[in-house]
Structures are given as C-alpha cells and as structure tokens.
C-alpha cells in the first residue's frame, strides 16, 4: 500500500458480495487504498434485493474477509456501516424491517461487527427514519456502542436536530454527518430520482443549510446518476428534465471542455467545492480511477462561478423601507 495523498472520495461497497464478486471487490478495495482512499461505506442490509436468500450482510462479509487478508490495512481505512433497513424476513421490506428500536439497534450492530471482523466502526449510520420509535430511544441505544461517530441517512432535518438535542442533553455523541442523494443536476420538485426510495432522501437546501450551520459532514450518494453523465448508453433520468437543468448542463459541458475532464469528473469536483463528500459505487477499476481523478481536479474560481450561476438568485427583503 502506498502513501498517496488521502482522497475525499468514499468507496461505496453496496454491491460487493452480490453483483460484484469477491475478486473484483478485493481489486477495487486494493486500488482505492493504493490511491489514497480512506472511507469505505457499507450497510447490514447490502444487498438484500440482489442476494440469493433475500437478506443483506454480503457486503460486510466481503469487507471482513478483505480486512483479514490485508494485515495492517485497518489502520489505513475508516469503516462506515448502516443499520435499520434490513428486512425482517426475505421479501418483507419496507413493511417489515429491523427498524431503530433499542433492541434492534443493539442486535444489528453486533451482527455488523461480527461480519466485519472488527471491534469498532469509525462511523455508524441510521439508514432511514423509523417513526414507530421515538428518536430519543434510538439515540440512547447508540450511546453505548463502539462507534467513533454517528450519522443519519434519509432523515428530515427537524428529526436530525431533535436527535442531536437529545444526545447533548444526556451527554452522548450527537449526529455529525448526513448521507443523502446529491448531484450537480437537481430533480424536479416533488420527484425522486431512480434508486432513491426515501421521502427525505434527496439533499434539500434546508438540509444543506442545517448541516452547514452545525458543522456536519454531508455525504452524497449516486452523485454520477449511475454513469448517465458520460455513458452514451445511459440516459439522464426524466426527473432531471426541466429548464433549470438545461442551463446546468450547458455550464457543465463548457467547464468539461475547458478542463478536458469528463462531465462526471467535473461534477465530483463541484460537489467538493460545495463541501459535499461524493460516494462512488462503481464495479470497475476504470470507474474508480476516473472518480479518484475527478475529486483531485482543481476547478478555477471562474469555472466554479459558471457552474453555480444557474442557482443564483437575488433575495429581496419584503420589509425593507417600511
């Protein structure tokens, strides 16, 4: 393993152990670390929808075997996993899933540590909200777990802050990270992009503002629209077809031409300029290399201004002069 400059890219291991075989998974993990990758993201439910038995755990098991086969690598990487979305029985998601009760949290986390073969994780995510359980109960369950940090994925901002407030009240570690879908293009209001199955799964201006105000990390999943920015065999999903994105695509094409980079690489660099940490869930080495090159791309202030221009607006105080 080399001493490459640490990369801000997150390697998403969602399909490891199901549609991505173990040899390919190991090759991707090795290349990621060789090129300075640090954060690896998985979940206890990955990938139940693609597994032979309808259950998750395959991704964590592959990661556990890779960690065991690479002595010393654990000190070089940070492991993030999620809980709360594993179906109770095969085929029962989303009606019946493990959820976020205290008992479910403790059982799920113990299972994750066993599959990963480690005694601690660097970041533990709540995968999706569970309104059948008070967030206070979940926060109290997290307080005693062997995790350095806690984050939430696919939660509304108000519920995140309610959980953070309770953690502070009991002297526990508050959530300090969000994981949401985000890209350069924005979906039409009231729609969800393909693959986003949670009501609050797409990063909103309110969630972004909440995170910035409280110094929370934001991880962006599916930032490359599953390859649609650059793969001619894939079309940009219909939810992104609106006038605002016409201007964004024009700006993206112009900056990509100036830099000589692919559109997806420019998207990754732009996300970083916004303080968002992009996640890659690819299955091929060339995709990983391209993404690592993208997050290393340095855009000029003028290029960033051009990319941001479609989102600019002038705010007028309705009470000014009264």
Return d(Cα 280, Cα 286) in angstroms, integer: 12
Structure-token pair, residue 271: 């996300």
Instruction: Find all residues with CB under 8 Å of 120, minimum gap 6, and list them.
Output: 113, 146, 147, 148
Residue with tokens 């391209």: 290
DSSP 74: G
Which residues fall within 8 angstroms of residue 227, CB to CB, at 6 or more apart? 234, 264, 282, 287
Neighbours of 17 (CB within 10 A): 25
Identified catalytic residue from 46, 184, 229, 240: 46
46 annotated active-site: yes
> Among the residues of the chain, which ranges form H helices?
22-34, 58-69, 102-116, 135-142, 157-169, 205-213, 243-259, 263-273, 285-295, 301-308
Structural contact between residues 11 and 37, judged by C-beta atoms closer than 8 angstroms: yes
CA distance linking residue 91 with residue 77, whole number of Å: 33
Q: Is the bond into 47 cis (omega within 30 degrees of 0)?
A: yes
- 204-213: string of b/e by CB count within 10 Å (b at 16+)? eeebbebbee
Residue 263 CA from chain centroid, whole number: 20
Backbone angles phi, psi at 51, to 5 degrees: -90, 160
CA-CA distance, 113 to 86, in Å (whole number)? 15
Beta bridge pairs of residue 97: 87
Q: Which residues are catalytic?
A: 46
């Amino acid at each position: 393993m080399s001493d490459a400059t640490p990369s801000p890219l997150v390697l998403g291991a969602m399909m490891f152990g199901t549609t991505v075989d173990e040899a390919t998974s190991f090759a991707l993990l090795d290349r990621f670390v060789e090129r300075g990758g640090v954060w690896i993201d998985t979940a206890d439910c990955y990938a139940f929808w693609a597994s032979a038995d309808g259950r998750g755990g395959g991704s964590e098991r592959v990661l556990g075997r890779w960690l065991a086969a690479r002595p010393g690598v654990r000190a070089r990487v940070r492991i993030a996993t999620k809980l709360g979305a594993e179906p109770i029985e095969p085929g029962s998601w989303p009606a019946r899933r493990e959820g976020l009760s205290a008992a479910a949290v403790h059982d799920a986390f113990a299972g994750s540590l066993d599959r990963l073969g480690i005694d601690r994780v660097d970041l533990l995510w709540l995968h999706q909200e569970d309104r059948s359980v008070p967030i206070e109960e979940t926060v109290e369950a997290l307080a005693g777990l062997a995790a350095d940090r806690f984050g939430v994925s696919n939660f509304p901002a108000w519920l995140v802050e309610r959980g953070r407030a309770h953690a502070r009240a009991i002297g526990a570690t508050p959530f300090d990270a969000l994981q949401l879908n985000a890209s350069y293009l924005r979906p039409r209001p009231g729609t969800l992009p393909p693959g986003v199955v949670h009501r609050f799964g797409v990063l909103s201006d309110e969630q972004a503002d909440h995170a910035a105000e409280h110094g929370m990390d934001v991880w962006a999943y599916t930032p490359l629209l599953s390859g649609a920015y650059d793969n001619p065999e894939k079309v940009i999903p219909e939810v992104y077809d609106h006038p605002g994105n016409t201007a964004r695509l024009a700006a993206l094409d112009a900056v990509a031409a100036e830099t000589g980079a692919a559109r997806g690489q420019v998207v990754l660099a732009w996300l970083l300029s916004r303080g968002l940490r992009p996640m890659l869930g690819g299955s091929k080495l060339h995709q990983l290399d391209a993404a690592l090159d993208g997050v290393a791309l340095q855009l000029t202030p003028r290029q960033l201004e051009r990319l941001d221009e479609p989102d600019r607006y002038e705010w007028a105080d309705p009470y000014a002069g009264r």
